[in-house]
Amino acid sequence: MNSLDKEYGPFNWEPRYNPADELVFTILSQHTSDINSERAFKILMENFDSLNDIADAEISQIEKCIKSAGLYRIKAKRIKDVLMWVRAEVGSFDLSFLSEMPLEDAKNWLKRIDGIGPKTAAIILCFSLGMPAMPVDTHIYRVSKRLGYIGPKVSADKAHDILEPMVPPEDVFRFHLYLINHGRKVCKALRPLCHQCTISWGCPSRR
Ligand code: SF4
């Protein structure tokens, strides 16, 4: 952690969006870049007055706003379905009650929503509410395997359960960001830059 802290840190947590907005943003960010999903989110929010309006909108209206996010037909329907589900279940879009729940209960509540898996649930709890949930994206999954933190046959979903308890709760957020940064900048998918790697001394996959 110390080496990665020097390399990529410091990261101080502050809320990105409220949990319901984060839910929408996370759907938009699936299988696309941050730039594309941020653009789509901005246009969507500028074109509707509220999440209520998005939930009531025609899917085609949502589609028009989120084209830059890719897979926009699938994502538009998913956003509408998810918002309608939350509204029916909670009576509003205020999901702040999740922060009062034990972590596992909050995760399980979110995973009841169709299409929400461990990664999306962890992103919402971690980024929006500051809870010690560890989202495992493609970079973290790859880096963790190479470092031997998880076995070669462990699924990405299962990796959440293994990686999260590896660090103290107060370090989960920055550990997540360190591994993402390391995966993007050094431990790249095709050609990892092991000669530049600050943690190569402890890596069984060093080349
Ligand atoms: S030594 Fe190479 S494979 Fe291991 S973490 Fe560093 S960059 Fe990745």
3-state helix, strand, coil in the chain (%, to 5): 65, 0, 35
Give the whole-number percent of the chain exceeding pLDDT 70: 100
Q: What residues flank ligand 1, with Cβ below 6 Å? A: 143, 146-147, 186-187, 192-194, 197, 199-200, 203, 205-206
* Contact by Cβ (8 Å): 83, 76: no
User: Domains of the chain: which residue ranges?
Assistant: 2-10+135-202, 19-128
Predicted confidence at residue 5, as pLDDT, reads: 83
| Ligand 1: centre distance to CA 190 (Å) | 12
In this structure, which long-range contacts are made by residues 109-114, counting pairs with CB atoms below 8 Å and at least 24 apart in sequence?
Answer: 113/82, 113/85, 113/86, 114/81, 114/82, 114/85
pLDDT of residue 47: 98
Mutate to test the pocket of ligand 1, among 3, 141, 143 (most ligand atoms within 8 A of CB): 143
**Rounded mean pLDDT, 120-128:** 96
- pTM comes to 0.92
Our answer to whether residue 80 is catalytic in this structure is no
What spacing in Å lies between the alpha carbon of 187 and ligand 1's midpoint? 5
Residues 130-145 have a mean pLDDT of: 96
- In CATH, what class is 2-10+135-202? mainly alpha
Class of domain 19-128: mainly alpha
Alpha-carbon distance values, 14 to 6, 114, 182, 198 (Å): 20, 28, 21, 27
For residue 79, what pLDDT is reported?
97
Q: Which of 107, 119, 185, 188 is catalytic?
A: 119
Q: What is the pLDDT of residue 2?
A: 76
Torsion angles phi and psi, residue 70, rounded to 5: 75, 160
The average pLDDT across 140-168 equals: 95
pLDDT digits (tens, 9 = 90+) for 38-87: 999 999 999 999 999 999 999 999 999 999 999 999 999 999 999 999 99
In total, the chain counts a number of residues equal to: 207
Cα of 126 to ligand 1 centre, how many Å?
A: 26
pLDDT at 17: 95
Q: Is 23 exposed, middle or buried (0-12, 13-18, 19+ CB in 10 A)?
A: buried
